[in-house]
Chain A
Amino acid sequence: AQSVTQLDSQVPVFEEAPVELRCNYSSSVSVYLFWYVQYPNQGLQLLLKYLSGSTLVKGINGFEAEFNKSQTSFHLRKPSVHISDTAEYFCAVSAMPSGGSYIPTFGRGTSLIVHP
């Protein structure tokens, strides 16, 4: 079985400050990792994903994430946030269990609140 832990339920930050949203996962097999964003009253949309290769992944809206296999982490970062980045952010993992199929597992989400 796979699981995702988002360590912070809420992250308040001032506009133009850097931010990091933390995500750790557990899985006994190789994984694909995703970050999704959910703006108020909308569905989730993909920010970025890690499949293989370079451990630093760049996504939309200036976000990036780094895959760290030894620490089983996939933290999301942005060097300078905007008010419009206020949203819920979900980390997700997709892996193939032995004899099974890929079903994505999501964390509980981190609410990013950007203050002016």
Chain B
Amino acid sequence: EADIYQTPRYLVIGTGKKITLECSQTMGHDKMYWYQQDPGMELHLIHYSYGVNSTEKGDLSSESTVSRIRTEHFPLTLESARPSHTSQYLCASSQDKPQEKLFFGSGTQLSVL
């Protein structure tokens, strides 16, 4: 059922590198989200978007940035990766109604050495 894709699935990178985590969905959803997931912790919202050219920061402060130039694409960029950025990043999308479920990608496990 899932029509939302994240790449890469795993990424190991050195400190200071610039990285982009890709997220695409084919469902035409207006709303897209990035969550950060650490073991035993809440899923923390770091960015979301209502549609093209609309992006907002979430409740967890993050040094990452996002863009939404096309409806289906919502990439997340870290200009200079640090070990504190090591985490699982989950992308999701939904229709713009609160009762609608979120569709999640399989996640990107990022490790910064």
* Chain A residues in the interface with B (C-beta under 8 A): 4, 9, 32, 34, 36, 41-46, 49, 51, 90, 94-96, 101-109
Contacts and interface: CB of A to CB of B under 8 A. Distances in A.
A43 B98 contact: no
14 contacts: A43-B2, A43-B92, A43-B105, A45-B1, A45-B2, A46-B101, A49-B101, A102-B97, A103-B48, A104-B45, A104-B102, A106-B35, A108-B41, A109-B40
Interface of B: 1-2, 4, 33, 35, 40-43, 45, 48, 50, 58, 90, 92, 97-99, 101-102, 104-107
Nearest to B104: A43
Contact of A9 (B33, B40, B45, B98): B40
Contacts of B107: 43
B106 A94 contact: no
A44 B40 contact: no
Contacts of B4: 43
B45 to A, nearest CB: 7
A9 B41 CA distance: 9
Given A43-B105, A103-B45, A108 B99 contact: no
B64 to A, nearest CB: 18
A51 B105 contact: no
Contacts of A44: 90, 92, 102, 104
Nearest to A94: B98
Contact of B98 (A32, A41, A42, A90): A32
B6 to A, nearest CB: 8
Given A43-B104, A106-B35, A109-B40, A49 B99 contact: yes
Contacts of B104: 36, 43-45
A42 B106 contact: yes
